Protein backbone atom coordinates (compact mmCIF):
# COMPACT_ATOMS: atom_id res chain seq x y z
CA UNK A 1 0.00 0.00 0.00
CA UNK A 2 2.84 2.38 0.86
CA UNK A 3 4.61 1.59 -2.43
CA UNK A 4 1.38 2.22 -4.34
CA UNK A 5 0.97 5.59 -2.63
CA UNK A 6 4.54 6.51 -3.52
CA UNK A 7 3.92 5.61 -7.15
CA UNK A 8 0.88 7.93 -7.25
CA UNK A 9 2.96 10.70 -5.67
CA UNK A 10 5.57 10.12 -8.38
CA UNK A 11 2.93 10.47 -11.09
CA UNK A 12 1.46 13.64 -9.58
CA UNK A 13 4.83 15.32 -9.12
CA UNK A 14 6.00 14.38 -12.61
CA UNK A 15 2.84 15.92 -14.09
CA UNK A 16 3.51 19.22 -12.33
CA UNK A 17 7.28 19.34 -12.73
CA UNK A 18 9.39 16.87 -14.60
CA UNK A 19 11.49 15.61 -11.70
CA UNK A 20 11.16 12.04 -12.91
CA UNK A 21 14.66 11.10 -11.86
CA UNK A 22 14.17 12.40 -8.33
CA UNK A 23 10.69 10.96 -7.87
CA UNK A 24 11.68 7.63 -9.43
CA UNK A 25 14.68 7.42 -7.10
CA UNK A 26 12.54 8.21 -4.07
CA UNK A 27 9.92 5.62 -5.02
CA UNK A 28 12.62 3.02 -5.53
CA UNK A 29 14.46 3.86 -2.32
CA UNK A 30 11.40 4.21 -0.07
CA UNK A 31 8.93 1.83 -1.69
CA UNK A 32 10.35 -0.86 -3.93
CA UNK A 33 13.61 -1.82 -2.22
CA UNK A 34 12.13 -2.42 1.26
CA UNK A 35 9.36 -4.49 -0.34
CA UNK A 36 11.95 -6.49 -2.27
CA UNK A 37 13.93 -7.19 0.91
CA UNK A 38 10.73 -8.30 2.65
CA UNK A 39 9.97 -10.72 -0.20
CA UNK A 40 13.49 -12.16 -0.03
CA UNK A 41 13.13 -12.78 3.70
CA UNK A 42 9.77 -14.44 3.09
CA UNK A 43 11.35 -16.63 0.41
CA UNK A 44 14.06 -17.72 2.86
CA UNK A 45 11.40 -18.71 5.41
CA UNK A 46 9.37 -20.61 2.81
CA UNK A 47 12.55 -22.37 1.68
CA UNK A 48 13.13 -23.65 5.21
CA UNK A 49 9.57 -24.92 5.38
CA UNK A 50 9.94 -26.71 2.04
CA UNK A 51 13.17 -28.33 3.25
CA UNK A 52 11.31 -29.55 6.32
CA UNK A 53 8.51 -31.02 4.21
CA UNK A 54 10.86 -32.99 1.97
CA UNK A 55 12.09 -35.14 4.87
CA UNK A 56 15.35 -35.53 2.92
CA UNK A 57 17.29 -32.55 4.24
CA UNK A 58 17.54 -30.89 7.58
CA UNK A 59 16.52 -27.21 7.44
CA UNK A 60 19.76 -26.42 9.30
CA UNK A 61 21.57 -27.19 6.05
CA UNK A 62 20.17 -23.92 4.68
CA UNK A 63 22.15 -21.92 7.25
CA UNK A 64 25.35 -23.75 6.31
CA UNK A 65 24.70 -23.29 2.59
CA UNK A 66 23.93 -19.58 2.95
CA UNK A 67 27.05 -19.10 5.09
CA UNK A 68 29.19 -20.67 2.37
CA UNK A 69 27.44 -18.64 -0.32
CA UNK A 70 27.94 -15.36 1.54
CA UNK A 71 31.57 -16.22 2.30
CA UNK A 72 32.21 -16.76 -1.40
CA UNK A 73 30.56 -13.51 -2.43
CA UNK A 74 31.93 -11.09 0.17
CA UNK A 75 32.11 -7.57 -1.16
CA UNK A 76 34.68 -5.04 -0.15
CA UNK A 77 33.66 -1.79 1.48
CA UNK A 78 30.56 -0.78 3.40
CA UNK A 79 27.23 -2.02 2.02
CA UNK A 80 24.14 -0.08 3.03
CA UNK A 81 21.12 -2.35 3.30
CA UNK A 82 18.76 0.50 2.42
CA UNK A 83 20.26 0.52 -1.10
CA UNK A 84 20.07 -3.25 -1.61
CA UNK A 85 17.35 -5.47 -3.08
CA UNK A 86 18.19 -8.26 -0.61
CA UNK A 87 18.54 -8.13 3.17
CA UNK A 88 22.12 -7.83 4.43
CA UNK A 89 23.92 -11.19 4.60
CA UNK A 90 24.25 -11.00 8.39
CA UNK A 91 20.54 -10.25 8.78
CA UNK A 92 19.57 -13.17 6.53
CA UNK A 93 21.76 -15.59 8.50
CA UNK A 94 20.35 -14.32 11.79
CA UNK A 95 16.78 -14.75 10.53
CA UNK A 96 17.53 -18.24 9.20
CA UNK A 97 18.98 -19.27 12.56
CA UNK A 98 15.84 -17.96 14.29
CA UNK A 99 13.54 -19.88 11.94
CA UNK A 100 15.44 -23.21 11.88
CA UNK A 101 14.03 -24.49 15.18
CA UNK A 102 10.43 -24.13 13.97
CA UNK A 103 11.32 -25.78 10.65
CA UNK A 104 13.05 -28.67 12.48
CA UNK A 105 9.96 -29.11 14.68
CA UNK A 106 7.78 -29.23 11.57
CA UNK A 107 10.14 -31.79 10.02
CA UNK A 108 10.00 -33.97 13.17
CA UNK A 109 6.18 -33.83 13.08
CA UNK A 110 5.87 -34.57 9.35
CA UNK A 111 8.65 -37.13 9.15
CA UNK A 112 8.73 -39.02 12.49
CA UNK A 113 10.54 -42.11 11.18
CA UNK A 114 13.11 -40.02 9.37
CA UNK A 115 13.73 -37.93 12.49
CA UNK A 116 14.48 -41.08 14.50
CA UNK A 117 16.53 -43.12 12.02
CA UNK A 118 18.08 -40.97 9.31
CA UNK A 119 21.07 -38.71 9.04
CA UNK A 120 20.27 -35.10 10.02
CA UNK A 121 21.37 -33.83 6.60
CA UNK A 122 20.57 -36.38 3.94
CA UNK A 123 18.64 -39.57 3.40
CA UNK A 124 19.14 -41.85 0.40
CA UNK A 125 16.12 -42.50 -1.77
CA UNK A 126 14.17 -45.77 -1.70
- Note the pLDDT of residue 99: 93
Q: What is the pLDDT of residues 19-70, one digit of tens each?
A: 666 666 666 666 777 777 788 889 899 999 998 888 888 888 888 888 888 8
Q: Give pLDDT tens digits for 43-53.
A: 899 999 998 88
pLDDT band with cut points at 50, 70 and 90 for residue 77: low
**Mean pLDDT, residues 4-33:** 69
Q: CB-based contacts of 57: which residues, under 8 Å, 6+ apart?
A: 51, 121, 122
CB within 8 Å of 35: residues ≥ 6 apart = 3
> pTM of the full predicted structure?
0.61
Amino acid sequence: AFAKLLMWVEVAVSLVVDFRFVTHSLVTLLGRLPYSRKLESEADQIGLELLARTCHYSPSVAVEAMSMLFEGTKRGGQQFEILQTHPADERRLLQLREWVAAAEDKRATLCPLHAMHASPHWRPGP
